């Protein structure tokens, strides 16, 4: 087992890795830039080193140099930044440092998205229609011809990303040029590359991903699926496991397809195989995430398995200590991605100073976060503050626990999307488990149409307090103690 690991990331995933390493008795080294000096991962790690490169967390060379300088035996990349860069994995291998993730040749196979999709199709798997070549933002003739061939709507995707960052949905030809420019710029900022490709949009669609683990000795297992169809701009906001609405036969087929793809490319370590399911129940393989997933706590709660710990053990050369028969999906788990943004103002980012940050608690409630009262939320990075994860014996228990946890979560100083999730959890379609990737493109309807007396009472109190605060701010009042005689007498000069 490793003695020291460098964490090449920030935010809640860096905190998550620090804690997993501590459970294993491993010394940790945290990287940070100037804006992250007071972040929680820096405070929790055993050592910390500042990144001085203008590339920040994307600098391959400096990250490897810092790992060597601190004596780290391995690097955990988290997700985003360098996590899916085969050149970073190769640089670690060349320097004699273990990259906690797939080998560079496996990552290279998946980074060539078009080759990957063609290989999957040749193996008998169904894939979405996609562009025959990748391109950059300045190759307008190339991507215009590819879009015309596919027809709209299409999804612009980064060759180093997925359906989240650096992806855009385009419905008309006049929107294409701007979408390509934006996706390329975001891909360069987040992943260090601006290479793109197109995928024909499938709608309506259910977004499903299967968590897998594979060791260096050929053992490969799945840990069930997650439904991530509640999305905005192709980024998952709410995920749950198991996916509602799948029949046992569909679920078994989905899991087998995921293992088939992983075997096809010789996958090692933790990863996620992503699919879309259309209204007819047809599965389409879309891509592989060669890293730990943002939503991994959903699977951890449902299976009672520590995925980050397994990542580290596999990278250290240990055999996978669990078999497929050991994996049992218990109850239902959900995760809400709490972002520093205003959902009622076109999701405007809301960085700033956190005056209050009170976490929810209770049985089977877990919050992964880097934030705390008094910290600053940077404007430079993804607005995610926390992941609120809950588990319940049934889906109904899980939803009710999530409603309570959302009410308990208190954040002030910035705007967040907490109210949006409260609406989602009360929506009739979500309650019934009948939703797809177009869920947030329609108005959210409250399940309870009649307003309760308790709600009216709360609104009246809020209005009264707001009125009083506003009144006092407009009409300053001199405190009573300053009007008393002793105060005036005390300020008189001696006669």
DSSP 48-109: EEE--STTGGG-HHHHHHHHHHHT-SEEE--SSTTTT-HHHHHHHHHTT-EESSS-HHHHHH
Q: Do residue 347 and residue 385 come from a single domain?
A: yes
Q: Do residue 229 and residue 144 come from a single domain?
A: no
Q: Do residue 76 and residue 22 come from a single domain?
A: yes
Instruction: Let me know if residue 193 belongs to a domain.
Output: yes
- What's this model's pTM, rounded to 2 decimal places? 0.87
pLDDT at 203: 87
Residue 22: give its domain's CATH number: 3.40.50.20
Q: Do residue 172 and residue 305 come from a single domain?
A: no
Instruction: Let me know if residue 289 belongs to a domain.
Output: yes
For residue 270, what is the enclosing H or E element? Answer: strand 269-278
Instruction: Let me know if residue 41 belongs to a domain.
Output: yes
The angle at the Cα of 38, spanning 64 to 47, to the nearest 5 degrees, equals 40
Instruction: Let me know if residue 491 belongs to a domain.
Output: no
Q: Do residue 140 and residue 259 come from a single domain?
A: no
Tens place of pLDDT per residue across the chain (495 aa): 999 999 999 999 999 999 999 999 999 999 999 999 989 999 999 999 999 999 999 999 999 999 999 999 999 999 989 999 999 999 999 999 999 999 999 998 888 888 899 999 999 999 999 999 989 999 999 999 999 999 999 999 888 766 667 788 899 999 999 999 999 998 887 777 888 999 999 989 999 999 999 999 999 999 999 999 999 988 899 999 999 989 999 999 999 999 999 999 999 999 999 999 999 999 999 999 999 999 999 999 999 999 999 999 999 999 998 999 999 999 999 999 999 999 989 999 999 999 999 999 999 999 999 999 999 999 889 899 999 999 999 999 999 999 999 999 999 999 999 999 999 999 999 999 999 999 998 876 554 456 678 878 888 888 888 887 777 666 666 666 666 665 555 555 565
Range of the domain at 186: 129-200
Q: Do residue 391 and residue 290 come from a single domain?
A: yes
pLDDT at 472: 67
Q: Do residue 211 and residue 234 come from a single domain?
A: yes
Q: Do residue 293 and residue 342 come from a single domain?
A: yes
Q: CA nearest 55: which of 44, 66, 70? A: 66
Q: Do residue 412 and residue 427 come from a single domain?
A: yes
Q: Do residue 181 and residue 226 come from a single domain?
A: no
pLDDT at 447: 44
Instruction: Let me know if residue 62 belongs to a domain.
Output: yes
pLDDT at 441: 86
pLDDT at 480: 67
d(CA 410, CA 467): 22
Instruction: Let me know if residue 17 belongs to a domain.
Output: yes
pLDDT at 491: 54
* Residue that is last in its domain, among 100, 117, 144: 100
Q: Do residue 373 and residue 403 come from a single domain?
A: yes
Residue 193: give its domain's CATH number: 3.30.1490.20
Instruction: Let me know if residue 482 belongs to a domain.
Output: no
Q: Do residue 260 and residue 378 come from a single domain?
A: yes
Residue numbers annotated as active site: 291
* Residue that is last in its domain, among 407, 426, 441: 441
pLDDT at 459: 83
* Residue that is last in its domain, among 200, 218, 238: 200
Residues 424 and 430 sit within 8 Å (Cβ to Cβ):
yes
**How is residue 4 annotated by DSSP?**
E
Q: How many domains does the chain have?
A: 3
DSSP of 146-166, one letter per residue? HHHHH-SSEEEEETT--SSTT
Instruction: Let me know if residue 106 belongs to a domain.
Output: no
């Amino acid at each position: 087992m490793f003695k020291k690991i460098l964490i090449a990331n920030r935010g809640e995933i860096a905190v998550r890795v620090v804690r997993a390493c501590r459970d294993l008795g491993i010394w940790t080294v945290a990287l940070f830039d100037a804006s992250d000096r007071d972040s929680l991962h820096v405070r929790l790690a055993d050592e910390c080193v500042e990144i001085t490169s203008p590339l920040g967390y994307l600098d391959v060379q400096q990250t490897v140099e810092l790992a060597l300088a601190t004596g780290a035996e391995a690097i955990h990349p988290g997700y985003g930044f360098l996590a899916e860069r085969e050149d970073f994995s190769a640089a670690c291998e060349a320097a004699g440092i273990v990259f906690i993730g797939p080998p560079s040749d496996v990552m290279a196979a998946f980074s060539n998205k078009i080759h990957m999709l063609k290989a999957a199709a040749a193996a008998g798997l169904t894939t979405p229609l996609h562009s025959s070549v990748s391109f950059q933002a300045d190759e307008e003739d190339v991507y215009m011809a590819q879009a015309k061939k596919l027809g709209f709507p299409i999804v612009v995707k980064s060759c180093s990303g997925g359906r989240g960052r650096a992806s855009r949905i385009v419905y008309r030809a006049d929107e294409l040029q701007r979408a390509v420019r934006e996706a390329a710029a975001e891909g360069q900022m987040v992943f260090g590359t601006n290479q793109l490709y197109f995928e024909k949009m499938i709608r309506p669609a259910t977004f499903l991903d299967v968590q897998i683990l594979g060791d260096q000795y050929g053992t490969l297992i799945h840990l069930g699926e997650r439904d991530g169809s509640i999305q905005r701009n192709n980024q998952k906001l709410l995920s749950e496991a198991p996916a509602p609405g799948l029949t046992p036969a569909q679920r078994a087929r989905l899991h087998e397809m995921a293992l088939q793809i992983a075997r096809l490319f010789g996958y090692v370590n933790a990863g996620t195989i992503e699919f879309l399911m259309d209204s007819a129940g047809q599965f389409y393989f879309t891509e592989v995430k060669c890293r730990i997933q943002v939503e991994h706590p959903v699977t951890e709660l449902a299976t009672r398995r520590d995925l980050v710990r397994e990542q580290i053990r596999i990278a250290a050369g240990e055999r996978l200590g669990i078999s497929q028969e050991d994996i049992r999906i218990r109850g239902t788990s959900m995760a809400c991605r709490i972002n520093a943004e205003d959902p009622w103002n076109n999701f405007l980012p809301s960085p700033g100073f956190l005056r209050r940050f009170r976490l929810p608690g209770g049985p089977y409630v877990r919050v992964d976060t880097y934030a705390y009262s008094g910290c600053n939320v940077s404007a430079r990075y993804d607005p995610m503050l926390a992941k609120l994860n809950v588990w319940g014996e049934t889906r109904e228990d899980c939803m009710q626990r999530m409603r309570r946890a959302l009410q308990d979560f208190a954040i002030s100083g910035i705007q967040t999307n907490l109210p949006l999730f409260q609406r989602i959890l009360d929506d009739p379609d979500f309650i019934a488990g009948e939703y797809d990737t177009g869920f947030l493109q329609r108005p959210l309807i409250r399940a309870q149409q009649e307003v309760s007396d308790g709600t009216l009472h709360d609104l009246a109190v809020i209005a009264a307090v707001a009125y009083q605060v506003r009144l006092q701010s407009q009409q300053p009042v001199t405190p009573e103690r300053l009007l008393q005689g002793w105060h005036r007498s005390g300020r008189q000069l001696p006669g």
